[in-house]
């Protein structure tokens, strides 16, 4: 099955700086890559996703890039704010398959 790994496990950034989280996946058939954000004590929520027919997708301060050749995708957060502090999970699955494989999560801490 699919195996997704996230790096680094914890990331601390100064407010206003950028944060980048990278995930690698193992199954070349995977073509759907979502990112979920989980604030302390709350449920995970989808913040952005990308499918393999595009290399990059942006939504305001967040963006995701995909490199299918290298089998990795990254989440970029620009101009970080305290409310960006959370655990971020990446995931991957082949289209047509409901079984998302999640990474172990990254704790992002934005220092005011």
Partner 1 sequence: DVKVTQSSRYLVKRTGEKVFLECVQDMDHENMFWYRQDPGLGLRLIYFSYDVKMKEKGDIPEGYSVSREKKERFSLILESASTNQTSMYLCATTWTSGGAGELFFGEGSRLTVL
**Which residues of this protein are in contact with partner 1, per CB under 8 A?**
1, 9, 32, 34, 36, 42-46, 49, 89, 93-100, 102-105
The least CB distance from residue 16 to partner 1, in Å, is 29
d(CA 79, CA 97): 35
| 12 vs 45 by CB, closer to partner 1 | 45
The least CB distance from residue 44 to partner 1, in Å, is 5
Phi-psi region at 38: left, alpha or beta (left = phi > 0; alpha = psi -120 to 50): beta
Strand duo 106-111 + 10-14: pairing? parallel
The least CB distance from residue 9 to partner 1, in Å, is 8
């Amino acid at each position: 099955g699919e195996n997704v790994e996230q790096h680094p496990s914890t990331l601390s950034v100064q407010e206003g700086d950028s944060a980048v989280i990278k995930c690698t996946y193992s199954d070349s058939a995977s073509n759907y890559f979502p990112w979920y954000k989980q604030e302390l004590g709350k449920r995970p929520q989808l913040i952005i996703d990308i499918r393999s027919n595009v290399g990059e997708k942006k939504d305001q301060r967040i963006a995701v890039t995909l490199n299918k050749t290298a089998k990795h995708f990254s989440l970029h957060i620009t101009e970080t704010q305290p409310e960006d502090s959370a655990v971020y999970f990446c995931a991957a699955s082949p289209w047509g398959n409901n079984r998302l494989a999640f990474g172990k999560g990254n704790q992002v801490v934005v220092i005011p």
